[in-house]
Amino acid sequence: MNILVLIKQVPDTEATIKPGAEQKSIAEAGVKFVINPYDEYALEEALRLKEAQGGGKIKVVTVGPERAKQALRSAAELGVDEVLLLKTDTASLDGLAIAQVLSESVAKESFDLILMGKEAIDDGNMQVGPMLAELLDIPCLNVITKLTLSGRQVTAEREGDSGVEVLETSLPAVVTCQKGLNEPRYPSIRGKMAAMKMVIAEQTVTVSGDRAVVTGLQVPSARSGGKIVGEGAAAVPELIKLLHDEAKVI
């Protein structure tokens, strides 16, 4: 089985994000970049499927600048078969533009399964997966927490507020992954050592289309601290008064 995993390099969840000079992108100095955490579930699921089937190929592709090679290297540490950087310096917010670039590159090969995170934690658009599926004219299962393959038949689960939806389709398909699907592994040291020497393949691409653009970035104002009105039953009247008069919520 041929599996394609699409990943994105994003700022580390713990990094302090500040707007850059033009207030349109973030200042990258001192920021650590990692694989988008939801994409890690996709990578792990691909590895598990390959292990379970005792064969197949995993290719990992990302669209991004030169530094995104580091994310591919981290993916390579896990023992995937092939990695590719679709290199561009345009940081596009346009999901369709990215989906188009990917679909052109992907169309040349035939993949049975395309896995990716349900969203990238930096811009949180949640668009590329469904749009790519549409462009390739294949089904898309979104925000999946359980995936089972039997032959070409795909069964997946999606957890919602009111219960679990069970979805079925057949390969080829796009599946976007949600937390809970699996627990991503830590690479073996041999994997790490091999990935250090690996040459990362790259292709320059043009991301065109400015249907959505960033006009400005702002840091949210710091949250003001809470207020302790007292303890126990005695504090209730005061609380009600404040909720009514000050917060105006009741």
Partner 1 sequence: MLGWTGRIVLVLAILIALGYFMHEVWLRVRIIRRGKHDVKRWDRPAERLGYMIGRVGAQICAIKDRPFTGVMHAFVFWGFIFFTVATLNHVGGAFKSGFSLFGKNTFNDLWFLGVDVVAALTLIAVIALAVRRYIFKPAGITQPQPISRSPHSAIVLALIFGLMLTYLLNQGAEMILKGASFAAYMPVSKATAGLVAGMAPATLHAWNLFFWWSHILMVLGFLMFIPGSKHLHLLSGPVNIFFRSREPIGTLQPIDFEKTEQFGVSTLPHYQWKNISDFFACIDCGRCQDVCPAYATGKPLSPKVVMMSQRKHALHEARALVSGGEPSESIMNTWLTPDEIWACTTCGACMEACPVMNEHIPTLIDLRRNKAMMESDFPQELNAAFRGLETNANPWNMGHDSRTAWTDGLNVPIMSQAGEVEYLWYVGCAGSFDDRAKAVSRAVAQILNQAGVSYAILGLEEKCCGDPARRAGNEYLFSMMAMENVQVLQQYKFRKILTTCPHGYHMIKNEYKQFGGQFEVVHHTELIAELIKSGKLKVNQNGLDAVTFHDSCYLGRYNEIYQAPRDILQQLSGRAPVEMGRHHNKSFCCGAGGGRMFMEESLGTRINHSRTEEAAATGAKMVGTACPFCLSMLDDGIKETGITEKLQVRDIAQLVVEHLQS
Positions in the binding site for partner 1 (CB under 8 A): 12, 14-16, 30-32, 34, 183-190, 192-193
Q: Give the distance, in angstroms, between the CA of residue 203 and the centroid of all CA atoms in the same chain.
A: 21
* Nearest-10 crossing angle of helices 128-136, 95-107: 40
Nearer to partner 1, 71 or 115 (CB): 71
Nearest-approach distance from CB 13 to partner 1, in angstroms = 8
Nearer to partner 1, 88 or 182 (CB): 182
Nearest CA-CA partner of 146 in 29, 61, 49, 25: 49
Nearer to partner 1, 79 or 139 (CB): 79
Nearer to partner 1, 27 or 243 (CB): 27
Nearest-approach distance from CB 9 to partner 1, in angstroms = 12
For residue 4, give both structure tokens.
């394609």
Exposed e or buried b for every residue in 100-125, given b needs 16+ CB within 10 A? bbbbebbeeeebbbbbbbbbbbbbee
Q: Give the distance, in angstroms, between the CA of residue 35 and the centroid of all CA atoms in the same chain.
A: 8
Backbone torsion region of residue 135, taken as left when φ is above 0, otherwise alpha when ψ lies between -120 and 50, otherwise beta: alpha
Nearest-approach distance from CB 226 to partner 1, in angstroms = 18
Place of tokens 């009111």: 162
Nearest-approach distance from CB 88 to partner 1, in angstroms = 24
Nearer to partner 1, 189 or 247 (CB): 189
Nearest-approach distance from CB 41 to partner 1, in angstroms = 13
